[in-house]
């Protein structure tokens, strides 16, 4: 009984911690995105609310919460209200099976840094993301508006087409690791070739999954409705696509769902192809001090730039953040902190890179035309994915 | 206890969803209830510890085929269909068929009770997961039907392409 109780308490605590981190990331990834896009386009981005606009996401959330929640008279009420909740809850659920690190001991409690390890973890994620399309499709239909309907139609066609390529890109990884459990997939990527090349699936013998990764990444952009595949909400043609009629919190939920999906897809790319929480170099190369170096570099950069053209509040906040970065880096000198947070550091660094890639691509590429999108999905990505599966299967059968 | 409760919940979802699928007037509502029904079936698979089957059920039927259904429903104009009379005059024949099947099932259960065994959930404690079990059986014992089914699907795809495109 005590075991069962502690199991439930542990699960609740882990779920709450994960949810907290996820929601903060969700809110601040938008700040990062706006800042980065602004700098790519030679603008400043948000810089009014708080130092460097850091409180802007909170102001936005408050604004969205307090705006009038308009339900147009011609919509199908139940489905119209249900759709955004469906979208966001499905987007948040899939994070439950992502493993963020190995087994750790915190305050005498041994646990894994993962909410639950399903033996069909990967299938679970695909099942949940394949359901995610209903939020968009039903929302667009229930809006009873031709632009929304077209957004919904486009989105269902796009998701169906690209889901195939997404799954095909992953099959190579499954062939190499022989399991659907995400934890076992990460475990199979531990260790190094020649003492320095990590055995991540993008480098893994007998066939490195580089092609599989590219197929996965491209399909993932389409699955999350991001530029250059954001046809369902192409402003120039469809007003705002499927969420034209949505306002206030319901609109914010669709927004959250999109970013939650981005985070899931980035984490999944890390887990499947880039060794999850494993460091890129063995410890004998001193890689365990990387967080320390990163912290010191960030601190130095911030303190150096705070001497520049910034005034008052901006300058002080840069100094504060510099000191915080230095302290976080210094904390990695302590053995227990290093053991607990090093895997998380690598996981966050890799996932963060993929999130950055999303934003980078958004600032770089124009949107596809609709027939190009379908043609690319079926005539390029799908055959490449199939070829990758066949070649990988052959190599695994011969040398695996 | 929990299993039994869950079984009745999923069974109710499956059957209730099925009934509502054929009685709703709006095609989109029917589709939504069919989705509910299929999710109920996935839940029943989970109760039988067939996780792989449950996952595939959701991915293929709910996430794939039903999205296509919705897609088609949204594309075609159903206003006319909604105004038509829904049930044709074959009510009595249908009822007779259902009654016959129900009698058959009753007879089968009453006569055959104890004579046949139900399929057992995959053995716990054995080191193989459900996916491995399914694949092992599928690719050894049922290899021929499996490959035949894949050829059947290929024929269907080629047929669809030929019908859709006049010149290839």
Q: Which residue of B has its CA nearest to A145?
A: B74
Q: Which residue of A has its CA nearest to B29?
A: A79
Q: Is pLDDT above 90 for B102?
A: yes
Inform me whether the C-beta atom of residue B30 falls under 8 Å from chain A C-beta atoms. no
d(CA A183, CA A194): 24
pLDDT at residue A1, as a whole number: 39
Do A180 and B131 touch, CB atoms closer than 8 A? yes
Nearest by CB to residue B67, choosing from A120, A137, A141, is A137
Enumerate the domain spans of chain B: 1-82, 132-168
Q: Which CATH number is B1-82 given? A: 1.20.120.1200
Please state, for a pLDDT cut of 90, what percent of chain B lies above it: 32
The two three-digit tokens of residue B46, written as one number: 């989970």
Per-residue pLDDT of A85-97, as tens digits, reads 888 898 888 888 8
Contacting residues of B for A134, CB less than 8 Å apart: 35, 67, 70
Question: Could you count the other beta carbons within 10 Å of the beta carbon of residue A279?
Answer: 18
pLDDT at residue B156, as a whole number: 93
The two three-digit tokens of residue B79, written as one number: 């206003």
Inform me whether the C-beta atom of residue B133 falls under 8 Å from chain A C-beta atoms. no
Contacting residues of B for A131, CB less than 8 Å apart: 58, 62-63
DSSP annotation of A289 reads G
Per-residue pLDDT of A30-80, as tens digits, reads 888 888 889 888 888 888 887 778 888 888 888 888 888 888 888 888 888
Please report, to the nearest 10 degrees, the dihedral formed by the alpha carbons of residues A99, A101, A102, A108 taken in order. Answer: -110
pLDDT at residue A119, as a whole number: 79
Query: If you write DSSP's letter for every residue of A72-132 in order, what string do you get?
Result: -TTS-HHHHHHHHHHHHHHHHHGGGG---EEEEEETTEEEEESS---TTHHHHHHHHHHHH
Burial tier of A175 (Cβ tally within 10 Å: 0-12, 13-18, 19+)? buried
Low-confidence ranges of chain A (pLDDT < 70): 1-5, 107-108, 231-237, 240, 309-312
Question: How wide is the angle at C-alpha A271 spanned by C-alphas A265 and A277, nearest 5°?
Answer: 125
pLDDT at residue A42, as a whole number: 87
Q: Which residue of A has its CA nearest to B55?
A: A123
Report CA B99 to chain centroid distance, whole Å.
22
Nearest by CB to residue A131, choosing from B28, B62, B70, is B62
Inform me whether the C-beta atom of residue B70 falls under 8 Å from chain A C-beta atoms. yes
Do A123 and A97 touch, CB atoms closer than 8 A? no
pLDDT at residue A91, as a whole number: 87
- Whether B64 sits inside 8 A of A137 (CB atoms) is no
Query: If you write DSSP's letter for every residue of B84-135 in order, what string do you get?
Result: S-SS-S-HHHHHHHHHHHHHHHHHHHHHHTTTS-PPPPPPTTSS--HHHHHH
pLDDT at residue B168, as a whole number: 61
Inform me whether the C-beta atom of residue A386 falls under 8 Å from chain B C-beta atoms. no
Do A114 and B47 touch, CB atoms closer than 8 A? no
d(CA A200, CA A212): 13
Contacting residues of B for A79, CB less than 8 Å apart: 28, 32
The two three-digit tokens of residue A148, written as one number: 């929304």
Answer yes or no: pTM beyond 0.90: no
DSSP annotation of A43 reads -
| Residue in A119, A17, A176 with CA at minimum distance from that of residue B126 | A119
Which residue is listed with tokens 């695996």? Answer: A400
Instruction: Tell me the pLDDT of chain B averaged across its residues.
Output: 83
Nearest by CB to residue A133, choosing from B52, B67, B130, is B67
Q: Give the distance from residue A179's alpha carbon to the nearest chain B alpha carbon, in angstroms.
A: 9
Instruction: Tell me the pLDDT of chain A averaged across its residues.
Output: 83
Average pLDDT score over residue span B26-40? 89
pLDDT at residue A156, as a whole number: 80
């Amino acid at each position: 009984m005590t075991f069962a109780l502690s199991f439930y308490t542990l699960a609740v605590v882990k779920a709450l911690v994960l949810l907290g981190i996820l929601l903060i990331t969700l809110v601040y990834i938008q700040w990062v995105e706006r800042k980065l896009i602004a700098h790519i386009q030679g603008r400043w981005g948000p810089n009014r609310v708080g130092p460097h606009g850091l409180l802007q996401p909170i102001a936005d959330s408050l604004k969205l919460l307090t705006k009038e929640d308009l339900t147009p008279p011609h919509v199908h009420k139940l489905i119209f209200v249900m759709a955004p909740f469906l979208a966001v809850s499905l987007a948040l659920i899939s994070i439950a099976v992502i493993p963020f690190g190995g087994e750790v001991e915190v305050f005498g409690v041994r646990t894994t840094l993962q909410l639950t390890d399903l033996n069909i973890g990967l299938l679970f994620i695909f099942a949940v993301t394949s359901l995610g399309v209903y939020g968009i499709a039903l929302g667009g239909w229930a809006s009873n508006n031709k632009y929304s309907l077209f957004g919904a139609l486009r989105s269902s066609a796009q998701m169906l087409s690209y889901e195939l390529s997404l799954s095909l890109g992953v099959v190579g990884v499954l062939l190499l690791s022989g399991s659907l459990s995400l934890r076992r997939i990460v475990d199979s990527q531990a260790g190094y070739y020649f003492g320095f090349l990590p055995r991540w699936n993008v480098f893994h013998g007998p066939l490195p999954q580089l092609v599989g990764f590219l197929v996965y990444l491209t399909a993932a952009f389409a699955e999350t409705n991001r530029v250059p595949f954001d046809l369902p909400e192409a402003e120039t043609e469809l007003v705002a696509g499927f969420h034209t009629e949505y306002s206030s919190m319901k609109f914010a939920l669709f927004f959250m769902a999109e970013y939650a999906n981005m985070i899931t897809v980035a984490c999944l790319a890390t887990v499947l192809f880039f060794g999850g929480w494993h460091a890129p170099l063995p410890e004998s190369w001193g890689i365990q001090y990387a967080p320390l170096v990163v912290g010191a570099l960030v601190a130095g950069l911030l303190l150096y730039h705070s001497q520049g053209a910034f005034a008052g509040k901006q300058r002080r906040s840069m100094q504060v953040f510099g000191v915080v970065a230095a302290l976080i880096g210094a904390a990695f000198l302590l053995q227990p902190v290093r053991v607990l947070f090093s895997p998380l550091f690598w996981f966050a660094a890799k996932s963060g890179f993929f999130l950055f890639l999303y934003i980078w691509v958004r600032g770089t590429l124009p949107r596809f035309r609709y027939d190009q999108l379908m043609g690319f999905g079926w005539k390029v990505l799908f055959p490449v994915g199939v070829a990758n599966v066949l070649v990988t299967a052959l190599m695994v059968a011969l040398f695996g | 206890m929990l299993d039994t409760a869950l079984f009745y919940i999923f069974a109710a979802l499956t059957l209730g969803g099925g009934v509502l699928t054929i009685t709703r007037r709006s095609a989109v509502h029917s589709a939504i209830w069919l989705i509910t029904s299929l999710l109920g079936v996935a839940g029943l698979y989970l109760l039988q510890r067939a996780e792989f089957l449950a996952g595939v059920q959701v991915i293929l039927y709910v996430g794939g085929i039903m999205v296509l259904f919705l897609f088609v429903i949204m594309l075609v104009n159903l206003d006319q269909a909604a105004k038509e009379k829904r049930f044709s005059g074959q009510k009595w024949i249908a009822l007779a068929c259902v009654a016959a099947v129900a009698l058959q099932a009753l007879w089968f259960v009453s006569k055959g009770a104890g004579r046949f065994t139900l399929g057992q959930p995959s053995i716990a404690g054995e080191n193989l997961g459900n996916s491995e079990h399914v694949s092992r059986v599928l690719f050894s014992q049922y290899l021929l039907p499996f490959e035949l089914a894949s050829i059947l699907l290929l024929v269907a795809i080629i047929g669809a392409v030929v019908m859709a495109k006049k010149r290839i």
